[in-house]
Structure 1
Amino acid sequence: MRKDVSNQIRLLREEAELLNKSELARRFNCDRRTVEKYINNSGDVARKSREVKSKLDDYKEIIMDKVDSYGSKSMAIFKFIQKKGYEGGYQTVNNFVKNHRKSEIKKATIRFDTSPGLQAQVDWKESIKMISRQGEVFEINIYLMVLGYSRLKFLKLTTDRTQETLFECLFEGFRYYQGIPREILFDNMSTVVDRSKTTFKNIAINKNFKYFSMDAGFEVITCRPYRPETKGKVEALAKLVDRLTPFNEEFDTFEELEIIVESFNQEINSEVSQATNEVPFLRFEKEKEYLNPLPPMDLLLSYFHHEKEYKVSNESMIRYKGKKYSVPTSYIGCYLTVSQIDTELYIYYTKDLIACHKISDKILHYKKNHAKEILLSDALKHYSDEDVELFIEENLKNMDIFLED
């Protein structure tokens, strides 16, 4: 490129158009056609880069559609467009697919990271086995929820991953945040997605879950192509749960394990996040005003707050939140419902109240008359009533049992 020619013509543009092109060519010691080219360059005297048409250009829209809609791989796409007339090489296709994916992942990551109140992610850490001091194995799950902007986490210990449990975890997470993000990203879990109606391109949300999301006021987002990097935020949190392993044999009850998880939750929210280089609690102060307000919470309670039935064991006891409570032996094998009010547990058969226990830290809870009835029906069936009562006074009261009159 003759920069001297282009620069001078730029300075003398109006004059140059009036000058004799041959005279200018002699002045710049160049061909007349060179001068003419720079004068006629529509004001842009810099040489335009020559546009080279790629063999792939006519197929780019097809490639992006197959990648975005169906997750098609490079080789499959290469073979497909060959049948449509593509004459280029595989590497060109592979590079284009890689660059397209990187671009889309970057867009999704920016959306998650930089928009306060926009998005949260939900997942489970499944089937964790924790051992109590007594050697009892507790198989638990930990529900994980994290806000995209602040990285504030909410963890909850659960014994299952049913849809009702998911509703309850979301409910408690909303209360923890005192607000609701505009959208929540889920894995394609069966409690969220109707798998019988779902294809790679079209995700069908479970009808009951859709109603819940509408009442709560958030949009359901499921994992699609280009989501793995954003999904990694909650998966990285799952790795943090491994820090619970030192608490094996450091607890006695399910409730104590719940307290350990709650304490751990507070701990990780007080640490500097590697993603933001800020403390989640502090960064949340900037995010909380962007969350949607809580809806009437009784509306959400209706999705999961149902009376649960508890089967009476052969020991004439029901198990509630990791502890056992006695009932009359006539209810062995029956299903009972319970209602907890403050520190009292009320046990019902149909609508009849059959027992009331005080809740304590003890594992076993007996009413004295229930204990007597249980012993007379089995272990001490040949004893007199007086002997059984004496046994209860001398033995049961000295055991790690909560015994009530």
Structure 2
Amino acid sequence: YTIVKDYCRHYKKKEIKKATTRVEHTIGLSAQVDWKEKVLMHDKNNVEHIFSIFLYVLPYSKRKFIKLTLDQKQDTLFECLTEAFNFMKGVPKEIWFDNMATVVDHQTSTFEHHHFNDRFLSFAHDAGFHPIACRPFRPQTKGCVEALARTMNRLKPYDREFETLNDLASFIDDLCIRLNHEKSQGNNKIPEEEWKKEKEHLQPINPDLTRYFSSVQTRKVSKDAMIRFRNHQYSVPLDYIGKEVQIKVTEDQKSVHIFFKGVEIRSH
């Protein structure tokens, strides 16, 4: 077993060291997607919060979209992608993804050939983009979003400076605005200015994408008897702390109903 591990370690290093050709990005062609996972911060009461940040970037203009999420479920991915499309005013022709379980079916995939999840492929088809899965251990293939993930360290000064997750989400939204108005280290240009040219080359947005995530969704009730849904927090009775509840949104998108085992326990 040790011999096999030593051999694989040497082989992996050799594969990673292979020459990587620098890609000159085509306007409106692609986007890169990833998660900043398991970010740990504390609020003003020293309560610990663990969350993820959805990362989306257009490599040509370097314009970014980032969003705080409490999970990395497939419905959450679809919702974040749809918000990113609306933020960018269009859909690129292809999107590069990490080897994430909500995108790639790991049971039927190999190191060389990826098999995409059927529901994800349906979403990609309806959205109008071609999905591309990056090879494991090759961060160079999605260097723009990898650089964006490192930029999330700029959230550290906000540790113990917020009261609720809604406040923290607002800090992340503000950071996104600042990043898009700062000169990018990749091309020394301002993403917001370059995006004004790129958005004309993006494809139109399919308005029917909400059906992939507007159905019943589940959330785990936090220790403070709250759930987070679409960038807002909603309260539930204390008896349901730690339990999974279901969320339904009315057709007019004005009311949120929360259920436990089919019984409505709260509405907002």
Instruction: Give TM-score scaled by structure 2 length.
Output: 0.81
- Give the deviation of 1:318 after TM superposition: 5.2
5+ residue gaps, structure 1, are: 1-71, 78-97, 358-405
Contact persistence 1:105–1:227 (CA under 8 A): no
1:173 aligns with 2:84: yes
Q: C-alpha deviations, 1:127-154, integer Å up to 9, x for none?
A: 0011001111110100101001000000
1:283 aligns with 2:198: no
* CA distance in 2: counterparts of 1:193 and 1:271, whole angstroms: 34
Question: 108, 113, 116: which one pairs with 1:197?
Answer: 108
Question: 206, 215, 227: which one pairs with 2:117?
Answer: 206
Q: Percent identity?
A: 38
1:146 aligns with 2:53: no
1:304 aligns with 2:220: no
- Give the deviation of 1:199 after TM superposition: 1.6
The code of the aligned residue for 1:285 comes to K
* CA distance in 2: counterparts of 1:74 and 1:165, whole angstroms: 33
Contact persistence 1:311–1:318 (CA under 8 A): no
Contact persistence 1:312–1:335 (CA under 8 A): yes
* CA distance in 1: counterparts of 2:94 and 2:43, whole angstroms: 38
- Give the deviation of 1:162 after TM superposition: 1.3
Aligned twin of 1:366:
none
* CA distance in 1: counterparts of 2:33 and 2:51, whole angstroms: 17
- Give the deviation of 1:355 after TM superposition: 4.8
* CA distance in 2: counterparts of 1:348 and 1:217, whole angstroms: 34
Aligned length: 251
Higher strand share: 2
The 1:326/1:169 distance shift into structure 2, 3 A limit, reads same
* CA distance in 2: counterparts of 1:343 and 1:212, whole angstroms: 25
1:105 aligns with 2:21: yes
Q: C-alpha deviations, 1:3-27, integer Å up to 9, x for none?
A: xxxxxxxxxxxxxxxxxxxxxxxxx
Contact persistence 1:318–1:324 (CA under 8 A): yes
- Give the deviation of 1:339 after TM superposition: 3.9
5+ residue gaps, structure 2, are: 1-9
Contact persistence 2:236–2:265 (CA under 8 A): no
Contact persistence 2:255–2:267 (CA under 8 A): yes
- Give the deviation of 1:164 after TM superposition: 1.3
1:126 aligns with 2:42: no
The code of the aligned residue for 1:232 comes to G
The code of the aligned residue for 1:203 comes to H
The 1:345/1:74 distance shift into structure 2, 3 A limit, reads closer
Instruction: Considering Cα pairs closer than 8 Å and 6+ residues apart, tell me whether 1 or 2 has the greater RCO.
Output: 2
Aligned twin of 1:262:
173
1:219 aligns with 2:130: yes
The code of the aligned residue for 2:211 comes to S
Contact persistence 1:144–1:234 (CA under 8 A): yes
Aligned twin of 2:227:
320
Aligned twin of 2:159:
248
1:187 aligns with 2:98: yes
The 1:356/1:220 distance shift into structure 2, 3 A limit, reads closer
The 1:163/1:246 distance shift into structure 2, 3 A limit, reads same
Contact persistence 2:236–2:266 (CA under 8 A): no
Aligned twin of 1:44:
none
Instruction: Give TM-score scaled by structure 1 length.
Output: 0.55
* CA distance in 2: counterparts of 1:128 and 1:121, whole angstroms: 20
Tell me the secondary structure at the aligned position of residue 171 of structure 2: helix
Greater Rg by CA: 1
- Give the deviation of 1:282 after TM superposition: 0.3
The 1:337/1:186 distance shift into structure 2, 3 A limit, reads closer
Q: CA RMSD in A?
A: 3.4
- Give the deviation of 1:325 after TM superposition: 3.6
Tell me the secondary structure at the aligned position of residue 212 of structure 1: helix
Contact persistence 2:62–2:191 (CA under 8 A): yes
The code of the aligned residue for 2:163 comes to D
- Give the deviation of 1:232 after TM superposition: 1.7
* CA distance in 1: counterparts of 2:131 and 2:244, whole angstroms: 40
Aligned twin of 2:5:
none
* CA distance in 2: counterparts of 1:200 and 1:266, whole angstroms: 37
Contact persistence 2:139–2:146 (CA under 8 A): no
Tell me the secondary structure at the aligned position of residue 197 of structure 1: coil
Tell me the secondary structure at the aligned position of residue 172 of structure 1: helix
